Amino acid sequence: MKTSPKTSLRFELDGDPSAATLRLAGPVRRDVVAELNTLLERHAPGSGATLTLDLADVEAMDSAAVAAMVTAFRRARDAGGRLVTDPLSEQARRALATFRLGPDPQPKPAPPGLLESTGGTVIGGFQGFVDFLQLAADATFAIFDALRAPRRMRWGALAEQSIDIGSRALGIVGLITFLVGLTVAFQSAHQLRQFGAAIFVADLTAVSMVREMGPLMTAILVAGRSGSSIAAEIATMKVSEEVDALTVMGMEPTRYLAVPRLLAIIMMVPLLTVLADLLGCLGGFLVGVGYLDIAWNAFLNKMLEAIAPWDLISGLIKSVAFAYGIGLIGLFYGFRVRGGASEVGRTTTASVVASIFYIIVADCLFSVLFYIVL
């Protein structure tokens, strides 16, 4: 098809401003409506004036033309003038008769003011926190229930989730923590060598990996990988009424959906953390042996001496706490979603941000707790 050349409106304007007549001819379709609208704006009848639209020679009109005329009609009426269409061609009459005049434009509801929106945010945040605690309590009880009655446990779903959260993450968690171990060792090697204390790279890497970086990096990766997928999956189920269907069929969504995911994440994250600890230490070991030229057995011995059982245990305690939080946050955001596709995306992002925020804050609290209080 050749796009039709830009047509222009055929019109004639007669009479004085108080009683003008605008005669339109030919097809009045949306390609000329912008022009028609400008014309109608320029000759809008003022108070007491009348603009007559002569549509006798109009061959065709579409809804854009009708809209332009209705807009002009409202504008004239508001200004105290009049706009009438007379006479009409058959086509013009039909087009005007097709559409019903809607009510006057409603103003868009004004966005809430600063005070209202601040209050709304605070109340919403508080309510959200209460809902979160409620979900945490429900889910925790559901886990204990499931453990007490193993027959009702969905073992298949648990295995599926464990594979998803655990084994599929082995590669990325191993690689990242290996690189982190390498980096930590490398950075500290430079500083410690100045004091002739290069051998202490072993202590530093081992302790920081096992107590801190292993659990932390694993948790952040799992939050990005699995926390987001929990939130997105449950949110999609919520939006497509699958969650409602489960409720109505007598299967509590917290039990049916939350328990396998929470149990899987609580079991898998500590296991991933052990891998992270090992590979982080391996990274440090390679720097010690390869870059600092320390005998491998000396470096290894130093590493093993540096780690007390409590270091490992405290790291694993942290990782369980991180896992539980990531799972709950993912579930909470998933269940809370309302609306459509765009909300699913937003809620997934929010869940990852909240998870990582939680991980960092909890890590900080644990560090203080383990070193100072205990």
Q: Is the separation of the CB atoms in 331 and 139 below 8 Å?
A: yes
Residue 102 zone, left/alpha/beta (φ > 0; ψ -120 to 50; rest): beta
Can residue 5 be called a binding residue for another protein (CB under 8 A)?
no
Q: Among 199, 320, 343, 349, which residue interacts with another protein (rule: CB under 8 A)?
A: 343
Q: Applying CB under 8 A, what is the total number of residues that bind another protein?
A: 35
Q: Give the residue with the Cβ less far from another protein, 88 or 321.
A: 88
Can residue 108 be called a binding residue for another protein (CB under 8 A)?
yes
Q: Among 5, 105, 150, 250, which residue interacts with another protein (rule: CB under 8 A)?
A: 105
Torsion of CA 275, 277, 283, 286, to 10 degrees: -100
Can residue 341 be called a binding residue for another protein (CB under 8 A)?
yes
Distance CA(168)–CA(272), nearest Å, equals 11
Distance CA(335)–CA(329), nearest Å, equals 10
Can residue 328 be called a binding residue for another protein (CB under 8 A)?
no
Q: Is the separation of the CB atoms in 69 and 53 below 8 Å?
A: yes
Eight-class DSSP state of 254: I
Can residue 297 be called a binding residue for another protein (CB under 8 A)?
no
Can residue 245 be called a binding residue for another protein (CB under 8 A)?
no
| Token representation of residue 135 | 């979900």
Q: Give the residue with the Cβ less far from another protein, 40 or 139.
A: 40
* Binding track, positions 52-81, relative to another protein; x by CB under 8 A: ----------xxx-xxx-xx--x-------
Q: Is the separation of the CB atoms in 54 and 20 below 8 Å?
A: no
Least distance CB 213 / another protein (angstroms): 39
Distance CA(331)–CA(137), nearest Å, equals 13
Can residue 207 be called a binding residue for another protein (CB under 8 A)?
no
Give rounded-to-5 percent helix, strand, coil for the chain.
75, 10, 20
* Binding track, positions 23-52, relative to another protein; x by CB under 8 A: -------x--xx--xx--------------
Least distance CB 206 / another protein (angstroms): 50
At residue 23, what are phi and psi to the nearest 5 degrees? Answer: -100, 120
Can residue 102 be called a binding residue for another protein (CB under 8 A)?
yes
Distance CA(120)–CA(226), nearest Å, equals 31
Least distance CB 74 / another protein (angstroms): 8
The footprint of another protein (CB under 8 A) covers 1, 3, 30, 33-34, 37-38, 62-64, 66-68, 70-71, 74, 94-95, 97-103, 105-106, 108-109, 338-343
